[in-house]
Amino acid sequence: MEMPAKEIQNRLLGWYDQNKRDLPWRVSTHPYSVWISEIMAQQTRIATLLPYYERFIKRFPTVFDLAAAPEDDVLKAWEGLGYYSRARNLRNAAQRIVSEWSGIIPDTKKELLSLPGIGDYTAGAILSIAYEVPMPAVDGNVLRIFSRLTNSDKDVAQPQTKELAKQFVASVLPSTRVGCFTQALMELGALICVPKNPQCVACPLEPLCRAKQCGRQSKLPIKSAKHKKETISQTLFIICTSDGRIVMRKRSEKLLNGLWEFYRVEGCFDEEAVTEHLNELGYMVSSITSMGKSKHVFTHIIWEMEGFFCEVCEQHAPSGYDLFKPSELKNLAIPTAIRKYTELYL
């Protein structure tokens, strides 16, 4: 597995200096900026997260602002990015950083790992990029580069393979420009050493790539198959009371915790079944309008949904639900999964 570290460093850093993207968190590499960007980049493409990052930083420019913000404000600022536990963890970690480290983001791996939402990769990214600590940061991009560069048949979904990749990165880290080297690896995986059809002709490491030498670059990395996701049918009731308010509830479940949703039940309902269910809730129905079908894919499950706009004669909400004026919905953090129905209504 031993490879020419100095040549890798020179080739990769030279390429990075010429080809790196102009990203806002690369301007100062402040620990707060690096931390926020790395958390946002989990499960989200850079091109997608850029406007969210800029709005989030504008809304919460310092760790003190984030720590002091109500959870609903943080979730609203995160709306559309998904995986909302990331936002809650950011706020909780910010509160600890303020209370335990006077607002200074820790510069040791042990302390960073003690914060919610920060794992091995994120700790390595913060330490190397923000603090120039020679610490490997191995994400999916780096695992892919490792597999191809070393022509490895190891399953990248296994922890042992990630450990091997960390050892490899540690062996080629430079003594200076550590942060640039870490970002160069990430950039190479995002722009050149991509999952399908890697752009080998433009890769600075192509002469050293053992998979390319064997013609196996498109077959690597090896990754075990994912489990098939469970599909769940859902029916959404957008219940509008006689005074024009909408029935909503704040979720307490682990999935989409803290976000707001319409009245929802599992299963497929037609208009007759919707009317019957509303009657059981104590409503007399004025009209029901189908709002169409929608599908949302989560990490482990798929929601297949159909929404109905239901006008009722009463002015109350079922137990556990609240009533909101349409104008107030814009201030609620509503998950992407049901945003289609919010947009159709508003």
User: Which of the residues are catalytic?
Assistant: 38
Q: In this structure, are residues 144 and 196 in contact, taking their beta carbons and an 8 Å threshold?
A: no
Handedness of CA 268, 271, 272, 277 (dihedral sign): positive
d(CA 58, CA 326): 27
Burial (0-12, 13-18, 19+ Cβ within 10 Å), 127: buried
Cis peptide bond upstream of 221, omega within 30: yes
Rounded to whole angstroms, the Cα distance separating 340 from 78 reads: 17
CA–CA distance, 338 with 346 (Å, rounded to integer): 13
Pick from 164, 338, 170: nearest CA to 246: 338
Two structure tokens written together for 54: 């800029």
Amino acid at 196: K
Beta strands in 118-167, from DSSP E residues, in sequence order: none
- Name the nearest CA neighbour of 242 among 314, 187, 340: 314
Rounded to the nearest 10 degrees, how much is the dihedral formed by the CA atoms of 253, 346, 284, 276?
Answer: -50
Q: Give the whole-angstrom CA distance, residue 95 versus residue 114.
A: 13
Q: How far apart are CA 18 and CA 20, in angstroms?
A: 6
Measured distance CA(69)–CA(83) in Å, rounded: 19
For residue 187, how far is the Cα from the chain centroid? Answer: 18
Q: Residue count of the chain, please give it.
A: 346
Residue with structure tokens 């310092």? 62
Dihedral, CA atoms, 85, 87, 92, 96, nearest 10 degrees?
130
